[in-house]
Amino acid sequence: MSKNTPKRIGDYEVIRELGHGGMGEVYLVRNVLSDRVEAMKVLLPSLAGRSEFVARFMREIKVLASLEHPNIAALRTAFSADDQFVMIMEYVEGTTLAERLERGPFSTADALNYTSQVLSALSYAHGKHVIHRDIKPGNMMLTPQGVVKLMDFGLARSADEVGLTITGTTLGSLDYASPEQVQSQPTDERSDLYSVGVSLYQMVTGQRMFSVTSSFSIMEAQIKTMPRPPIEIVPTVSRELNDVIMRAISKDPAQRFQTADAFGAALSQLSKSLAQPSKGQTQAAVTEFSTPQRTFDPGFTVPDPNASSSRGKRNLLLVLGAVLVAALLAGAAIYKSRQHGPEEVVASSAVQAPAPTNPSDASNAQNHDSPPQPPPTPTVTESQPAEANPANPKPPAVIARKSQPASQNLSPAPAVPAEDIQAQQQAALEHKQQLDAMETEIDQLDSRAASADSSIDTLEQQLHQSGLGLRGDVVASRSNMRTDITKAKQALEASDTERARRYMDMAHRELEHLEAFLGRR
């Protein structure tokens, strides 16, 4: 866990962070009472005082509390702790379909299977008058058992709710948003089905429906541009599947599937056709079965009576050769050992494993905790050469070790304590340098923010002229960025570097969101 990750919230021990976004953070947690591992979603403390985010978080809690379906991640409970709003959800182990798409397109069978599960969840949610409004592969979790769980109902609303969207704003991920969402028009269940169609398009082709990058271009394409049919990108896509996808992503809601059940029934029919072989394939299979081919199986070998005797002769020769080689190696080893005299053997063994010279040395050597040191290099003087010293039978290596103990070469490093006055001066200097660096950083941040702000103002005017609205998350990010930069400057004026850093980081996250929207990142 990072240093900013809490260790415990209420009765839940935080194990690690699973993810975070502009609105909240998600942790893997363990209930200390039940020992069950779950997922915890926490509204960011900095947003707790902003009514629009609190309302959205509370709405997600109430929506999830009303839903119980095997393809929807379940809400366990919700509470507030230490001025934080918290929801406890079912922990879904697996990977999102967006992460799976990074490895390429799905097989037709998998794409139909996963999409059918999502439609089953939507059929149930729509029956409860709940519209998701942010359907995309990133909100579809695939478990190791092949079950798809629909997640993140943060933008969901009931069909009878009003006043939950900022006037003239667009919500949802633009790559998957329906034309009516992009135009800030009223949405219904068919908007979710459009997003499912876009997701299925990407699963089958492995490509985004529109290759444009800027947010304005994506919004314009969702309204005016017809995408390439999947069959033109992947020729192996069947005509029936191609037609189903193109119907799901019709610009006009009236031309789409009108219910999740109708969409799911069309996919079920395609799945059945995949499972049943075509008439031509069946006839070919019958012909192949009735007319066996006269070919030999390459894995089958007919026994040859002459082969066994020849293999026996080869084996006998191999055994005799191995015995001869072993005998030669043994003779060479004996010959080599007789070439060395006893003096060389003694000297070699002394260098490799020197024995202690007294009982205390032996005891210390056995009880020492540090790893063994390499043997010292033998030292030989002119007056006592190593080759001839009959008075002292000990090897030269042992003599050198006794005559030069290692303790004589060690000298303790002097400890120089720092003066208090010097420490204070150093701390003051570092604090001033930190303030100077942060002032430079916030000036650069302020300059980038002004540039992004100006571009968004221009884009907002263009959108209004085209009858479009600015996305709600962009409106919120721009407001939050201005507020966070102001608070960071105030903290710097008060020399509060910790508080300034916190607001600078928050402003930087909001600015990155805006720059990504403008296509600068």
Let me know the angle formed at the C-alpha of 135 by 233 and 24, rounded to the nearest 5 degrees. 130
What is the average per-residue pLDDT within 113-130? 96
Give the pLDDT confidence score for residue 356 in this predicted structure.
Answer: 46
Q: Which residue has the higher pLDDT, 364 or 431?
A: 431
Residue type, 386: A
Distance CA 62, CA 76 (A): 12
What is the average per-residue pLDDT within 454-472? 71
What is the average per-residue pLDDT within 448-476? 74
Tens digit of each residue's pLDDT (9 = 90 or more) over 30-69:
999 999 999 999 987 767 667 778 888 888 899 999 999 9
What is the average per-residue pLDDT within 68-76? 95
pLDDT band (50, 70, 90) for residue 170: very low
What is the average per-residue pLDDT within 483-487? 88
What is the average per-residue pLDDT within 508-515? 80
What is the average per-residue pLDDT within 397-408? 44
Q: Is the pLDDT of residue 374 over 70?
A: no
Distance CA 174, CA 155 (A): 14
Name beta bridge partners: 170. 471
Give the pLDDT confidence score for residue 251 in this predicted structure.
Answer: 96
What is the average per-residue pLDDT within 400-421? 55
pLDDT band (50, 70, 90) for residue 467: low
Look up 134 and say whether it is catalytic: yes
Q: Is the pLDDT of residue 237 over 80?
A: yes
Q: Is the pLDDT of residue 100 over 70?
A: yes
Contact indicator for 114, 140 with CB cutoff of 8 Å? yes
Give the pLDDT confidence score for residue 421 in this predicted structure.
Answer: 81
Give the pLDDT confidence score for residue 166 in this predicted structure.
Answer: 38
| Whole-number Cα distances in Å, 164 to 56, 176, 178, 472 | 8, 20, 18, 11
Give the pLDDT confidence score for residue 134 in this predicted structure.
Answer: 92
Contact indicator for 176, 136 with CB cutoff of 8 Å? yes
Q: Is the pLDDT of residue 302 over 60?
A: no
Q: Is the pLDDT of residue 200 over 90?
A: yes
| Whole-number Cα distances in Å, 183 to 17, 85, 179, 189, 246 | 36, 32, 6, 16, 21
Q: Which residue has the higher pLDDT, 66 or 394?
A: 66
Q: Is the pLDDT of residue 333 over 60?
A: no
What is the average per-residue pLDDT within 334-343? 51
> Which residues make Cβ contacts (< 8 Å) with residue 180, sequence separation at least 6?
186, 187, 191, 253
Long-range contacts of 123-127, Cβ-Cβ distance < 8 Å, separation of 24 or more: 123/259, 123/260, 123/261, 123/264, 124/67, 124/69, 124/71, 124/72, 125/67, 125/69, 125/72, 125/150, 125/156, 126/189, 126/192, 126/259, 126/260
What is the average per-residue pLDDT within 388-395? 46
Distance CA 157, CA 164 (A): 8
Q: Is the pLDDT of residue 249 over 50?
A: yes
Q: Is the pLDDT of residue 90 over 50?
A: yes
Give the pLDDT confidence score for residue 40 in this predicted structure.
Answer: 94
Q: Could you tell me the domains of the chain?
A: 1-91 (3.30.200.20), 93-275 (1.10.510.10), 427-517 (1.20.1270)
Give the pLDDT confidence score for residue 210 in this predicted structure.
Answer: 93
Give the pLDDT confidence score for residue 354 in this predicted structure.
Answer: 45
What is the average per-residue pLDDT within 388-410? 46
Give the pLDDT confidence score for residue 49 in this predicted structure.
Answer: 67
Q: Which candidate in 134, 152, 175, 192 is catalytic? A: 134
CA nearest 513: which of 483, 486, 484, 478?
Answer: 478
Sign of CA dihedral 100, 106, 110, 111: positive
Instruction: Identify the top-confidence range among 171-180, 229-238, 267-276, 312-321.
Output: 229-238
Question: What does residue 229 show for φ and ψ, rounded to 5 degrees?
Answer: -60, 140
Give the pLDDT confidence score for residue 383 in this predicted structure.
Answer: 43
Q: Is the pLDDT of residue 469 over 60?
A: yes
Sign of CA dihedral 156, 159, 163, 166: positive
Average pLDDT, the chain: 76
Q: Is the pLDDT of residue 325 over 60?
A: no
Q: Is the pLDDT of residue 141 over 90?
A: yes
Give the pLDDT confidence score for residue 465 in this predicted structure.
Answer: 65
Share of the chain above pLDDT 90, in %: 36
Give the pLDDT confidence score for residue 520 in this predicted structure.
Answer: 56
pLDDT band (50, 70, 90) for residue 417: low
Distance CA 410, CA 82 (A): 57
Q: What is the 3-state secondary structure (H, E, C) of 313-356?
A: HHHHHHHHHHHHHHHHHHHHHHHHHHCCCHHHHHHHHHHHCCCC
Give the pLDDT confidence score for residue 14 in this predicted structure.
Answer: 94
Distance CA 92, CA 149 (A): 8
Tens digit of each residue's pLDDT (9 = 90 or more) over 207-232:
999 988 788 888 889 999 999 999 99
DSSP secondary-structure letter at 409? Answer: G
Distance CA 502, CA 482 (A): 14
Give the pLDDT confidence score for residue 384 in this predicted structure.
Answer: 46
Give the pLDDT confidence score for residue 430 in this predicted structure.
Answer: 84
Tens digit of each residue's pLDDT (9 = 90 or more) over 103-113:
999 999 999 99
pLDDT band (50, 70, 90) for residue 121: very high
